[in-house]
């Protein structure tokens, strides 16, 4: 556990400056990075659901995720447009394949798998692509730089706090059917670390400086959402019977393992800003 924690902290220390630079740059640089991450995460999820590289469904879902990120940079074009187009393409794929196979005198995949493949593509598109587009939507708001930095590092603090406290002193299981390694002590550590991060980052970023009551409210909500996001990823992995979505990120597993808390946390900050700040 100690060596795994050290690997997680080392990976975070290497990745953090890159994340800060890209968030500061924003625009197409951040969008390209987010689009790449989401495309990889879509493939990880689709692969866990049994869809391979030759299957067009994960490619369509990944393209839809990247398109939503690109459109999020354009004020007068809603992200619902690429989402709808990708959704139509995913849903129509089995019918198109069957029609094409019939014209060639053969059979496509078994019809019984059509809905399974379609559902897998829709889940990947909505869970990863739609929620992931809020990375750019949040960055494009007034003071979006500061809010996205706060969201990213507060969620990371909650994740790291939960893992560290749970690994070093966790006893009581949080949700053993979902993730035997997660503990109540770890969840409490995540909530505490996350709350402290929200409050401190608000003080450290001079262009933010929101009233304490607002940040205290966000400090209570955001870490809780991050914990739920982490559990959501664990539910998916448990259902797919995989330990990690991949091994691309040392100490963390796959890209989606690293993003699961952020996919729920960043939209939470976006709507908090819309409702309580703007």
Distance (Å, whole) CA 204 – CA 206: 6
Angle, alpha carbons 241-185-249 (nearest 5°): 45
21 contact partners, CB below 8 Å, separation of at least 6 = none
What is this structure's pTM? Answer: 0.90
Task: Kindly report the number of other CB atoms within 10 A of residue 108's CB atom.
Answer: 17
Range among 89-93, 169-173, 239-243 rated most confident: 89-93
Please report the pLDDT score of residue 261 as a whole number. Answer: 94
* Sign of the dihedral through C-alpha 105, 110, 115, 120: negative
Task: Kindly report the number of other CB atoms within 10 A of residue 99's CB atom.
Answer: 10
Please report the pLDDT score of residue 249 as a whole number. Answer: 80
Asked whether 9 and 167 are in contact (CB, 8 A), the reply is no
Please report the pLDDT score of residue 33 as a whole number. Answer: 95
pLDDT in tens, 206-236: 889 899 999 999 999 999 999 999 999 989 8
Please report the pLDDT score of residue 75 as a whole number. Answer: 75
DSSP code per residue over 169-208: H--SEEETTTEEEEEHHHHHHHHHHHHHHHHHHHHH-TTT
pLDDT in tens, 17-51: 888 999 999 999 999 999 999 999 999 998 888 88
Please report the pLDDT score of residue 4 as a whole number. Answer: 64
User: What percentage of the chain has pLDDT greater than the value 90?
Assistant: 57
pLDDT-derived band at 250, boundaries 50, 70, 90? confident
Please report the pLDDT score of residue 244 as a whole number. Answer: 85
* Residue 107 pLDDT exceeds 60: no
pLDDT in tens, 179-200: 888 899 999 999 999 999 999 9
* Residue 9 pLDDT exceeds 80: no
* Residue 173 pLDDT exceeds 70: yes
User: What percentage of the chain has pLDDT greater than the value 70?
Assistant: 92
Please report the pLDDT score of residue 187 as a whole number. Answer: 92
- Helix pair angle (212-240, 144-169), 10° resolution: 60
Distance (Å, whole) CA 67 – CA 79: 8
Please report the pLDDT score of residue 72 as a whole number. Answer: 93
């Amino acid at each position: 556990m100690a060596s795994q924690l050290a690997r997680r902290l080392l990976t975070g220390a290497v990745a953090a400056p890159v994340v800060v630079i890209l968030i500061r740059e924003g625009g197409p640089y951040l969008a390209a990075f987010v689009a790449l991450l989401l495309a990889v995460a879509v493939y990880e999820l689709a692969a866990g659901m049994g869809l391979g590289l030759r299957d067009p469904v994960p490619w369509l879902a990944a393209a839809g995720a990247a398109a939503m990120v690109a459109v999020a940079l354009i004020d007068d074009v809603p992200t619902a447009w690429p989402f709808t187009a990708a959704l139509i393409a995913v849903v129509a794929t089995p019918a198109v394949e069957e029609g094409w196979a019939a014209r060639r005198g053969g059979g496509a995949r078994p019809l019984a798998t059509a809905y399974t493949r379609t559902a897998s593509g829709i889940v990947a598109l909505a869970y990863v692509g739609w929620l992931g587009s809020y990375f750019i939507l949040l960055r494009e708001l007034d003071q979006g730089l500061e809010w996205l930095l706060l969201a990213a590092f507060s969620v990371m603090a909650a994740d790291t706090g939960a893992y560290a406290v749970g690994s070093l002193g966790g006893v009581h299981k949080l949700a053993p059917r979902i993730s035997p390694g997660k503990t109540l002590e770890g969840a409490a550590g995540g909530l505490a670390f996350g709350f402290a991060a929200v409050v401190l980052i608000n003080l450290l970023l001079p262009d933010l400086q929101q009233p304490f009551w607002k940040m205290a409210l966000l400090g209570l909500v955001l870490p809780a959402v991050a914990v739920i996001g982490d559990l959501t990823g664990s539910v998916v992995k448990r259902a797919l019977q995989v330990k990690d979505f991949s091994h691309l990120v040392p100490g963390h597993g796959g890209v989606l393992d690293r993003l699961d808390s952020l996919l729920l946390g960043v939209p939470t900050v976006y709507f908090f800003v819309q409702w309580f700040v703007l």
